[in-house]
Amino acid sequence: MPKITIIGGASAFTDSLVRDFLSLDLPSGVLAMVDIDKKRLDLASKSVKRIVEVSGKNWTVEASTKRADLLPGSDYIVNTIEVSGMQTVELDNDIPLKYGIDQCIGDTIGPGGLFKAMRTIPVWLEILRDAEKLCPNAQVLNYTNPMCMITLAGLRATNMKIVGLCHSVQGTGRGLAKVAGIPYDEMEWECSGINHMAWFTKLEHCGKDLYPVLRKRCKETEVYEGDPVRWDIMNHFGYFVTESSGHFSEYVPYYRKRAELIKKHCRDGYRGGTSFYRNMWPDSRASRDERRKKIIVGTEKIEFKKSVEYASVIIEAMETGKPAVIHGNVVNTNLIDNLLQGGCVEVACLVDRNGLTPTKVGKLPEQVAGLCRANMSVFELGVQAALHEDKEAFYHAMMLDPLTAAVLSPGEIRQMTDEMIEAEKKYIPRFLSKNSKKATR
């Protein structure tokens, strides 16, 4: 009977993940929910209890604002925390925008992603250090962005077993199969790189390369307009990438540095809309709470269709021994030869009772490896800044960010960073508010 503890139990992931857990061939277990927001935790836990009741499974639901109450005995820890996000989402977006840095999402790389990392990593490490004392053998499944920096910091600073999980690989694969007009289960594919920038280096059906089909289909307006940035990058770099056009457009220097380029390549919403996440998030959070209220009173239909998230797949494989393959974010220990060793990469992993075993990729095509390396340098410096309280490393991370560097000079980047530090000083580590030893001109 596994115990699954969700840290950030009122998050957007919870209801979907719980449905996945209840769909497993595990008749009983414990779902423990931890969140510092008592009001939203109460709402989320009542919603989960209702979902469990409808499932007919004999699972117990526990909830607490104190993680020390629920971590003991945990077999799996699912991390979905959001640290000060509601208070800072506008600052993360609006200050960079004033300097010409146009973000769509801004939670994984760029100014928004780096500041989110600084807010999140200290809290994340406190959670992991508690877990080291209270449930040291637990498998940690991280869903919180910025994925690479959060996962890497946890693996470097603690002894916990951690894998970073996302839905971009499996979601993109299904989308490509649909465009190619074939059943997803019949598609043969290989995908690796870094989170939100992994590449489908093999796409075949019955031994036939699907890329010629995709290159032809993307000339159709309806297909191209659904994902304009990703189709464009495929046409120029040769491979399809795993994150949405809006998110991916932030990770490279090509699409968001001038207004005419944004107009040409980006569209609304997840296709690249300016300030999309900043404008969408508060309403999305409120609507989620309303849906939970409907679940509790029985006016919202509860369906148990399994999502594409990997958490339940991992738990099922580890609990039953039935092997599975997932794509996880892990340390690059000679897995991808031409990416930073010791950095965080996203590769296929085998899962069974022994846990997760990453598979070796070899080399990525150099043109896409170069794009990954540019991002990995930002992540490496961000993690160094957080773990060693190194403000200069933080400046350097900002300076190496591909989008930021495409728009601003080093001095302008320091100025923008200092303005963001001042605006967010209540939410970030104190070392960032100390005077830098270097010139800021």
The pLDDT assigned to 285 comes to 87
Q: Is the CB of residue 376 less than 8 Å from the CB of residue 194?
A: yes
Specify the pLDDT at position 294: 96
pLDDT, one tens digit per residue, over 290-346 is 999 999 999 999 988 899 999 999 999 999 999 999 999 999 999 999 999 999 999
- Burial group, residue 254, by CB count within 10 angstroms (0-12, 13-18, 19+): middle
**Cβ-Cβ contacts under 8 Å for 137 (sequence gap 6 or more):** 75, 161
* pLDDT value for 436: 58
DSSP at 333: S
Q: CA-CA distance, 160 to 136, in Å (whole number)?
A: 7
Give the C-alpha separation, 204 to 207, whole Å: 6
Q: Which of 118-122, 193-197, 228-232, 286-290 has the lowest mean pLDDT?
A: 286-290
Residue that is written with structure tokens 């100390």 in the block:
434
- Start-to-end CA span in the chain (Å): 60
Percent residues over pLDDT 70 in the chain:
99
pLDDT of residue 6: 98
Please tell me the pTM assigned to this model: 0.96
What was the pLDDT predicted at 440? 43
- Residue 381's pLDDT band, with cuts at 50, 70 and 90, is very high
DSSP state of 58: E
Residue 187 clears pLDDT 80, i.e. is over it:
yes
d(CA 280, CA 107): 13
**Tokens coding 217:** 């289909």
| pLDDT at position 282 | 82
Mean pLDDT of 424-428: 97
Mean pLDDT of the chain: 96
Q: Could you give the angle at which helices 366-388 and 110-134 cross, rounded to 10 degrees?
A: 60
Whole-angstrom CA distances from 423 to 28, 92, 154, 201 are: 47, 10, 27, 42
Other CB atoms closer than 10 Å to residue 292's CB: what's the count? 22
R_g (Cα) of the chain, nearest Å: 21
pLDDT of residue 25: 87
Taking each helix axis as running N to C, give the angle between helix 110-134 and helix 410-423, from 0 to 180 degrees, rounded to the nearest 10: 50
Q: Which two tokens stand for residue 379?
A: 């992540």
Q: What is the dihedral of CA 295, 22, 139, 314, to 10 degrees?
A: -120
Q: Return d(Cα 132, Cα 143) in angstroms, integer.
A: 19
Residue 27: its pLDDT value, please?
A: 87
Q: What is the pLDDT of residue 437?
A: 53
Its CATH architecture, for the domain 3-86+108-166+299-312, is: 3-Layer(aba) Sandwich (3.40)
Specify the range with the lowest mean pLDDT, choosing from 6-10, 278-282, 401-405: 278-282
How do the domains of the chain map onto residue ranges?
3-86+108-166+299-312
Per-residue confidence (pLDDT) for residue 407, from 0 to 100? 98
Q: Say if residues 48 and 20 touch (Cβ distance below 8 Å).
A: no
- β-bridge mates for residue 187, sequence order: 205
Span 105-116, average pLDDT: 97
SS3 135: coil
Strands 324-331 and 3-7 turn out to be unpaired
Res. 281 pLDDT band, cuts 50 70 90: confident
Q: Which member of 167, 205, 265, 396 is catalytic?
A: 167
| 388 classed as catalytic | no
